Amino acid sequence: MPIKKSAKKALRQSERRRIRNLQRKRKIKNLLKEVRGLIFQKKIGEAKKLLSQVYKLLDKAAKTGLIKKNTAARKKACIAKAILRESARI
Protein backbone atom coordinates (compact mmCIF):
# COMPACT_ATOMS: atom_id res chain seq x y z
CA MET A 1 0.00 0.00 0.00
CA PRO A 2 1.18 3.53 -0.72
CA ILE A 3 2.40 5.60 2.18
CA LYS A 4 2.75 9.12 0.78
CA LYS A 5 -0.27 11.28 0.11
CA SER A 6 0.55 11.70 -3.58
CA ALA A 7 0.98 7.94 -4.01
CA LYS A 8 -2.42 7.32 -2.41
CA LYS A 9 -4.01 9.80 -4.80
CA ALA A 10 -2.26 8.20 -7.77
CA LEU A 11 -3.62 4.82 -6.69
CA ARG A 12 -7.18 6.20 -6.52
CA GLN A 13 -6.81 7.81 -9.94
CA SER A 14 -5.41 4.68 -11.57
CA GLU A 15 -8.24 2.59 -10.14
CA ARG A 16 -10.86 5.00 -11.52
CA ARG A 17 -9.15 5.01 -14.92
CA ARG A 18 -8.90 1.22 -14.96
CA ILE A 19 -12.64 0.86 -14.32
CA ARG A 20 -13.49 3.48 -16.97
CA ASN A 21 -11.20 1.82 -19.52
CA LEU A 22 -12.73 -1.61 -18.85
CA GLN A 23 -16.22 -0.19 -19.34
CA ARG A 24 -15.26 1.44 -22.63
CA LYS A 25 -13.52 -1.69 -23.91
CA ARG A 26 -16.54 -3.78 -22.97
CA LYS A 27 -18.85 -1.34 -24.78
CA ILE A 28 -16.74 -1.52 -27.95
CA LYS A 29 -16.59 -5.30 -27.78
CA ASN A 30 -20.36 -5.65 -27.30
CA LEU A 31 -21.17 -3.22 -30.11
CA LEU A 32 -18.84 -5.02 -32.53
CA LYS A 33 -20.43 -8.32 -31.54
CA GLU A 34 -23.89 -6.85 -32.12
CA VAL A 35 -22.96 -5.57 -35.59
CA ARG A 36 -21.41 -8.92 -36.54
CA GLY A 37 -24.58 -10.65 -35.35
CA LEU A 38 -26.72 -8.37 -37.50
CA ILE A 39 -24.49 -9.07 -40.51
CA PHE A 40 -24.77 -12.80 -39.86
CA GLN A 41 -28.59 -12.49 -39.68
CA LYS A 42 -28.55 -10.58 -43.01
CA LYS A 43 -29.91 -7.40 -41.38
CA ILE A 44 -27.61 -5.09 -43.32
CA GLY A 45 -29.74 -1.95 -42.87
CA GLU A 46 -29.58 -2.18 -39.09
CA ALA A 47 -25.85 -2.92 -39.20
CA LYS A 48 -25.25 0.17 -41.35
CA LYS A 49 -27.13 2.29 -38.80
CA LEU A 50 -24.81 1.09 -36.02
CA LEU A 51 -21.69 1.63 -38.15
CA SER A 52 -21.37 5.33 -37.30
CA GLN A 53 -21.65 4.49 -33.60
CA VAL A 54 -18.89 1.88 -33.95
CA TYR A 55 -16.66 4.37 -35.76
CA LYS A 56 -17.23 6.99 -33.07
CA LEU A 57 -16.36 4.63 -30.21
CA LEU A 58 -13.26 3.27 -31.94
CA ASP A 59 -11.99 6.74 -32.86
CA LYS A 60 -12.46 8.03 -29.31
CA ALA A 61 -10.73 4.97 -27.87
CA ALA A 62 -7.79 5.47 -30.23
CA LYS A 63 -7.62 9.18 -29.45
CA THR A 64 -7.45 8.63 -25.71
CA GLY A 65 -4.92 5.80 -26.00
CA LEU A 66 -7.27 3.02 -24.93
CA ILE A 67 -6.46 1.12 -28.13
CA LYS A 68 -3.84 1.79 -30.78
CA LYS A 69 -4.65 3.85 -33.85
CA ASN A 70 -4.00 1.00 -36.28
CA THR A 71 -6.12 -1.39 -34.21
CA ALA A 72 -9.06 1.01 -34.49
CA ALA A 73 -8.47 1.38 -38.23
CA ARG A 74 -8.28 -2.39 -38.68
CA LYS A 75 -11.51 -3.01 -36.77
CA LYS A 76 -13.34 -0.30 -38.73
CA ALA A 77 -12.10 -1.70 -42.03
CA CYS A 78 -13.09 -5.27 -41.15
CA ILE A 79 -16.61 -4.29 -40.15
CA ALA A 80 -17.11 -2.09 -43.22
CA LYS A 81 -15.77 -4.84 -45.47
CA ALA A 82 -18.09 -7.42 -43.91
CA ILE A 83 -21.12 -5.16 -44.41
CA LEU A 84 -20.11 -4.44 -48.00
CA ARG A 85 -19.55 -8.13 -48.72
CA GLU A 86 -22.96 -9.13 -47.33
CA SER A 87 -24.81 -6.31 -49.07
CA ALA A 88 -23.28 -7.44 -52.37
CA ARG A 89 -24.55 -11.00 -51.78
CA ILE A 90 -28.13 -9.91 -51.25
- E strand or H helix at 57: helix 44-64
What's the CATH fold of domain 5-89?
Answer: Methane Monooxygenase Hydroxylase; Chain G, domain 1 (1.20.58)
Q: Give the rounded percent of residues in the chain with a pLDDT score beyond 90.
A: 93
Name, in order, each residue with C-beta under 8 angstroms of 27's C-beta and a sequence gap of 6 or more.
57
Q: What's residue 1's pLDDT?
A: 87
Taking the model in full, what pTM does it have? 0.87
Q: What is the pLDDT of residues 10-52, one digit of tens each?
A: 999 999 999 999 999 999 999 999 999 999 999 999 999 999 9
Between CA 11 and CA 13 the distance in angstroms is: 5
